[in-house]
Amino acid sequence: MPKTAYYIPIGPIHPALKEPIRVEAEVEGEKIVKVDVKRGFAHRGIEYMGMKRNAIQTLYLSERICGICSISHPYAFVITAEKALGIEAPPRAQYIRPIIAELERIHSHLLWLGVIAHEMGFDSLLFWIWKGREKVLDLLELLTGNRINYSVFMIGGVRRDLKESHIKALKDMITYYWEFTEKMKEIILSDPVYKARTRGVAQLSKELALKLNVVGPTARAAGLRMDIRQDMPYDAYADIDVRAVVPQDIVGEARGDAYDITMVRIYEIEQSLDIIEYCVDNLPEGKILAIPNYVALLAKIRRTKGEAIGAHEAPRGEVVHYLKFDGRDGPSVWKVIAPSYNNINSWAPLLLGAEVADIPIVVAYIDPCMCCNDRVALLKTPEGKVLGYEYIHRKAVEKTKRIEREVRK
């Protein structure tokens, strides 16, 4: 390292970080010339725990993967389980689920808008946005009983119905946020300082976004028209003409920077309001559970063998779950991929050449979630040596061949 260069380690525990991760940057003056991102500090073995429980217990365990995405993981879980088990949720439940999911998108995007304002030093903007976020959190508590960890989804439907008082509260909320988003456009998108601080910062080209396989608002801000609700519609989304929100449809071009991603998230709040309004106005009558008796549901799971992959468009991007059932009342295999797993790939190329003061914006612009992201465990010998990929792969091949021999006997 030249004498004019400095090494800046950030994390894994740092006052600027909400969750543990490590960014190591080498800087010359104010310019970042080398960067390395290290993750894996928040792994909790939650998939392993889920494979030791029955499917209903695992469903509510999936809410604990991430508090902010506490409906996104259960949504992907129930879609996957229903595919594997051959269960279809009643039409009314298929309309209630998107309402809850879009409410979560609104509160998540408002949370991010407050965080990005804070990272730039606009704390008055942070407090104003988070004050506005209280409305949707209060509504989620009214509908589900909780502000997060709602416990409302079930394999084959939902656990709570909507009453007339809930419908009125939803319509009041829609009116409130249409006015709130108009104010956000005026205060945030039209502010010359906000524009100067975000234009050209964390700029991700369409080509690089494709190469890095980023998802969600991060990909859409770069101009990619990708959204699970559009590309693989499920539940009521199949009845709604959902279209990915991209900057070129709003201002005529996509630059893929922190300003564009702010714009995409504000317009996605308005899209969520439209989806909720459609579901409320067209809410079918009828039951909300395909199999209301949970003992009967677990018995069906024990009798069924199958596997499936399912996905939901979470506020941060695609959440993908894989489940395999083979004769017990819970999954024998459960694997989860969350959007931060892909989106963190953008940090290193975007930080290279950036200024030190831009590090918080580059880190925050993808709305990272470490507890969603960390899905890999390091295996160590009793002596503390970390087992390498080659060794683990060889052991996996040996086990597969051993099982093949046992099956053929």
User: What's the CA dihedral at 341, 342, 347, 350 to 10 degrees?
Assistant: -170
DSSP code per residue over 5-28: EEEEEE-SS-TT-SS--EEEEEEE
**Is the dihedral angle over the CA atoms 198, 203, 206, 211 positive or is it negative?**
negative
Burial environment of residue 186 by CB neighbours within 10 A (0 to 12, 13 to 18, 19 or more): exposed
Q: Residue 283 and residue 91: Cα distance in Å, rounded?
A: 8
Q: Are 312 and 153 in contact (CB under 8 A)?
A: no
**CA nearest neighbour of 316 among 69, 19, 62, 61:** 69
Q: Are 189 and 266 in contact (CB under 8 A)?
A: yes
Q: Which two tokens stand for residue 386?
A: 């970390």
**CA nearest neighbour of 392 among 383, 408, 379, 402:** 379
DSSP, res 173: H
> How do the pLDDT tens digits run along the chain, 409 residues long?
666 788 888 888 877 677 888 888 899 988 999 999 888 888 778 888 999 999 999 999 999 988 888 899 999 999 999 999 999 999 999 999 999 999 999 999 999 999 989 888 889 999 999 999 999 999 999 999 999 889 999 999 999 999 999 999 999 999 999 999 999 999 999 999 889 889 988 899 999 999 999 999 999 999 999 999 999 999 999 999 899 999 999 999 999 999 999 999 999 999 999 999 999 999 999 999 999 999 999 999 999 999 999 999 999 999 999 999 998 999 999 999 999 988 998 988 999 888 888 888 888 888 888 877 776 666 778 888 888 878 888 887 888 888 888 877 7
DSSP, res 365: T
Q: Are 9 and 21 in contact (CB under 8 A)?
A: no
- Alpha carbon 51 to its chain centroid, in Å, reads 22
